[in-house]
């Protein structure tokens, strides 16, 4: 029957299909799980960062220090003076900084600076540090290496170095300063620094896992092109 003039038919709302609700719930659950994973991972990262400098129980062929934090170079020079390594690489040095200037800043180690220290001016990030360290280690026949960097930076530095130097024994020597005390990680400046470093660590881990996949894909694509 036709509706009277002036009255429009009101349709009842169409119920959401069951499969859409299931997808929405799955997406929500996935987001929640990802958030919980990030929080749990950050908690693990905070407690994994060393809060005290370690006492080395062995010496090494060489020492590498990654620039970027206070007292890193001084600690590395002290290890070299103690005979913990035969040679030291300072990687990530500013291009305008020379051995003479570093010797002037570290007068107690001027003799060591002249004989046993190499500078790398090429690296601008942790990946570059690892690549330049690999080149230096191969050139110097380094089979064991003490790694000196800030405590919060150590997990990412060790991961990058292990990727570049799988046959070299790496010994961590984390530098702990009062400015970054992970036992007080809830302080806003420290929390921001640790969260930033944790996200960089996660990004580095993802990149290192995806690189072989991309390389294999590119190789397969190259083989297909060559065969055509």
Q: What is the pLDDT of residue 16?
A: 58
Residue in this structure with the two tokens 């859409």, named with its chain if needed:
20
The verdict on residue 204 lying in a domain is no
Q: How far is residue 72's CA from residue 89's CA, in Å, rounded to a whole number? A: 12
Collapsed DSSP state (helix, strand, coil) of residue 80: helix
The verdict on residue 87 lying in a domain is yes
Q: What is the pLDDT of residue 219?
A: 60
pLDDT along the chain (228 residues), means of 10: 51 63 80 75 80 88 90 93 96 91 85 92 96 97 96 94 97 84 72 90 92 68 64
Q: How many domains does the chain have?
A: 1
pTM: predicted TM-score of the whole model, two decimal places: 0.78
CATH code of 80's domain: 3.40.50.620
Q: What is the pLDDT of residue 171?
A: 96
The verdict on residue 45 lying in a domain is no
Q: How far is residue 86's CA from residue 216's CA, in Å, rounded to a whole number? A: 39
Q: Tell me the torsion sign for CA atoms 77, 79, 85, 86.
A: positive
The verdict on residue 85 lying in a domain is yes
Half-sphere exposure of 115 (CA within 13 A, CB side): 7
The verdict on residue 216 lying in a domain is no
Collapsed DSSP state (helix, strand, coil) of residue 173: strand
67 is in which domain, residue-wise?
62-176
Q: What is the pLDDT of residue 116?
A: 94
DSSP state, 54? -
């Amino acid at each position: 029957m036709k509706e009277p003039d002036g009255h429009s038919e009101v349709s009842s709302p169409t119920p959401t299909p069951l499969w859409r609700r299931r997808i929405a719930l799955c997406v929500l659950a996935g987001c929640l799980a990802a958030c919980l994973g990030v929080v749990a991972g950050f908690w693990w990262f905070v407690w994994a960062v060393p809060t005290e400098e370690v006492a080395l129980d062995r010496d090494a062929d060489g020492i590498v220090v990654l620039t970027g934090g206070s007292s890193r170079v001084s600690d590395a020079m002290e290890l070299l003076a103690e005979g913990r390594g035969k040679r030291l690489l300072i990687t990530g040095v500013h291009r305008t900084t020379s051995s003479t200037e570093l010797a002037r800043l570290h007068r107690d180690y001027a003799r060591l600076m002249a004989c046993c220290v190499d500078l790398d001016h090429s690296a601008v990030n942790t990946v570059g540090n690892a690549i330049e360290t690999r080149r230096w280690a191969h050139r110097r026949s380094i089979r064991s290496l003490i790694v000196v960097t800030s405590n919060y930076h150590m997990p990412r530095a060790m991961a990058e170095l292990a990727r570049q130097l799988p046959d070299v024994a790496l010994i961590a020597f984390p530098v702990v300063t009062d400015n970054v005390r992970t036992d007080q990680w809830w302080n806003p400046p420290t929390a921001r620094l640790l969260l930033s470093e944790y996200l960089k660590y996660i990004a580095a881990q993802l990149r290192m896992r995806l690189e072989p996949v991309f390389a294999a894909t590119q190789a397969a694509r190259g083989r297909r092109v060559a065969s055509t």
